[in-house]
Structure 1
Amino acid sequence: MNDLMKIRDVSSKYDVTARTLRYYEDIGLLTSIRSDEVAYRMYDDEAIRRIEQILILRKLNISIKDIQRIFAASGSDVVLDVLGKKVENIDDEVSLLHELKAIVLDFIQEIERMNFADNSDIKQLYSKAKEIETQIVNVDYIGKPANISRLIEITDKLDKKVPDVMVVRVPPFRALSSGVHTWEEIFMPGGYMFQLWQHFPLFQTVIFDCLDFTLVRADDMGEMICAVQDGVSEADVSPLQIIDFPGGLYAMAVSIDEDDESIRKVQDKICQWIETTNFELDESRSFMFNMPYLDEENVYQQDIEKGLGYRQMQRYLPIKLKLM
């Protein structure tokens, strides 16, 4: 047992959450060792090498699905194919960025020729702007009629990886709480998540067919809550406790994969999106996430997962209006 690393030590050394390590195990990318002596997961040298390989590939923005293909193959053909396609995608994106830069420079030159400084009157400035708008709509400027349609096409392609962000209102509700614990204590076999789900018949959905949320209380601490039906009492769920969840406004986007790399990217992009709005992060509330349609016997959940090829993870960032 001395040559094995505890899940907590692996998490600390490689800056990866225990939840992500369990996710890699659940989808067959990683295996751990258990024994009667300890209740937590342990990893041997082979598993550690596999973790390092996965983390490197994720930093290269290789999808979980492609990583599964890589490790399922016996040779290096698949990984070379995946990395080759990644290079092609990067080349395509670089080419699009160069083309977009050229179009923006053309716009700058055209606007400089307009000489806005001569228009001191607001009405004249408005008229000049309308003239420019007409020129753009008619795509009849500086001899490059394809620029506008190409600009739209380029920006659409470059934006396709940015998650669509929507503002949602999560209503207040009564919830059964796991309490605040480490991720290991929540997700371990027989842990607090398991204890919560023993009360599944008492739950009800809140939004998007979701009945549960996982709140991030700290890097290594979280709390799971599940909405309970009216009439459920503390005696029905003891020793767990029922809390009043206040709800509120959240900026929400969907992560394709469930590991730290995907979640971080989605969260960063939501934060970037918030900066373009009249909202700001509400630091008095916690980030949270959940996975809709978790009822395995729900035919709609089955159809959604089959159609997408993955389960959706929704990331919620608490927001509030900026003080003007």
Structure 2
Amino acid sequence: MELQKASQVSKDYGISTRMLRYYEQVGLIKSLRQEDYAYRVYDESAVSRLRQIIVLRKLRVPVKQIISILNNSDAVQIVEIFRQNISQLDKEITALSTVKSILMRFAEEIKEKADVNLKLIGDEALFSIIDTLSFPNNQIKEIKEELSMEELNNASETLNKMMDKDVRIIFLPPMTVATYCARGEGCEGKANDVINKFVMEAGLTKIKPDLRQFGFDCSDGAVGVGEPSKAYEIWVSIPDDMEVPGHLIKRKFNGGMYAAHVLRTWDFQDWRLLKEWVDSSDKYDNAWGEPRWTPDETGSGQGFEEQLNYWGNANRGFRMEDMQLDLLFPIREK
């Protein structure tokens, strides 16, 4: 089997390149880098391992348990993990069966009376039944996992909806930044590599210990959540009078107000949820696209992904396991 690039593996198996990087981060698969070749590639062993991971995920086995299963030669422990998942599924099946029965009761009641009267939903006896239901929620705690149902008695909060407590309102100050935009396959990684190299060679962490790093997708046309970027730009803040190498661009950022949210478990669906929060806010307007920096040939006023504690990450060699991102959505007061 020939070595396969990350983009090909992503296409063949229907998972994002970010998911592939996450599986590498937690030690489930390994990629290779050939000499004088910028892209990550996977051999037959890695692809075979990925197929095992996909099968287990389709069976709703959490990533933490997959790590134990694939890195464990003890058959007894592996069987116990599967039994735990079977037990959780039994509980969920029982709860879902109850939910189905109640919904059928609602439908029949409304159909018989030909009247949309929802008093039944507030029935005290029915509430007691619903209040005892419990769904396994281990999936929701796993990094890059599908969201699961929470306790049904908390259903007054719409599932998957970002709440006010999940969002901070911040003002980014004006700053000068050095930027690099990469295009094509692996553009996000390439842009990161260029900026990180500039930071290290310029000694920027010493010159500007409060430096900040931002990135954003600047692809032509819409890119779906989880799909690989076609173009990605990375910024790092620099002193106003600092000169940058010719392959970088120096920009002036005017600052502005943003809705900020720490990325939950590396689930980039949070971009959609953050936008929904902004669009439904009675205090703030969506300011996506509002001019906020010059020059702006790759777009202006977009949202950022800010690498938190960039100074510390730079001094540790930018290890993937240290990364944490803030999602920053441009807003303005109503």
Settle same-fold status: TM greater than 0.5.
Answer: yes
Which runs of 5 or more structure 1 residues have no equivalent in the other structure?
118-131, 302-309
Cα distance change on mapping 1:74 and 1:95 into 2, 3 Å: same
Cα distance change on mapping 1:320 and 1:190 into 2, 3 Å: closer
1:292 aligned to 302, 308, 315, which one? 308
2:329 aligned to 278, 303, 318, which one? 318
CA displacement at 1:293 relative to structure 2: 3.5
Cα distance change on mapping 1:194 and 1:297 into 2, 3 Å: closer
CA displacement at 1:41 relative to structure 2: 2.4
CA distance in 2, matches of 1:293, 1:63: 29
1:36 partner SS:
coil
- Relative to its length, the structure with more helix (as a share) is 1
CA distance in 1, matches of 2:85, 2:287: 37
Cα distance change on mapping 1:149 and 1:68 into 2, 3 Å: closer
Kindly indicate whether the alpha-carbon contact (under 8 Å) linking 2:131 and 2:153 is maintained by their aligned counterparts in 1: no
Kindly indicate whether the alpha-carbon contact (under 8 Å) linking 2:179 and 2:195 is maintained by their aligned counterparts in 1: no
Please give the per-residue CA displacement for 1:162-219, whole angstroms capped at 9, x wherever unaligned: 566314324143222222434625425993243243233344548xxxx222212233
CA distance in 1, matches of 2:209, 2:174: 10
Give 1:41's aligned residue. Answer: 40
1:34 partner SS:
coil
1:235 partner SS:
coil
| Count, aligned residues | 280
Kindly indicate whether the alpha-carbon contact (under 8 Å) linking 1:291 and 1:312 is maintained by their aligned counterparts in 2: yes
Cα distance change on mapping 1:202 and 1:62 into 2, 3 Å: farther
Give 1:216's aligned residue. Answer: 217
Q: Bigger radius of gyration, 1 or 2?
A: 1
Please give the per-residue CA displacement for 1:137-178, whole angstroms capped at 9, x wherever unaligned: xxxx75678579769963338979856631432414322222
Which runs of 5 or more structure 2 residues have no equivalent in the other structure?
134-149, 220-228, 290-300
CA distance in 2, matches of 1:240, 1:49: 40
Please give the per-residue CA displacement for 1:270-304, whole angstroms capped at 9, x wherever unaligned: 45555654467655244433443455589xx9xxx
2:152 aligned to 127, 144, 154, which one? 154
Cα distance change on mapping 1:156 and 1:35 into 2, 3 Å: same
Give 1:123's aligned residue. Answer: none
Q: Percent identity?
A: 18
CA distance in 1, matches of 2:8, 2:213: 29
Cα distance change on mapping 1:5 and 1:92 into 2, 3 Å: same
Kindly indicate whether the alpha-carbon contact (under 8 Å) linking 2:29 and 2:50 is maintained by their aligned counterparts in 1: yes
TM-score, normalised via structure 1 length: 0.61
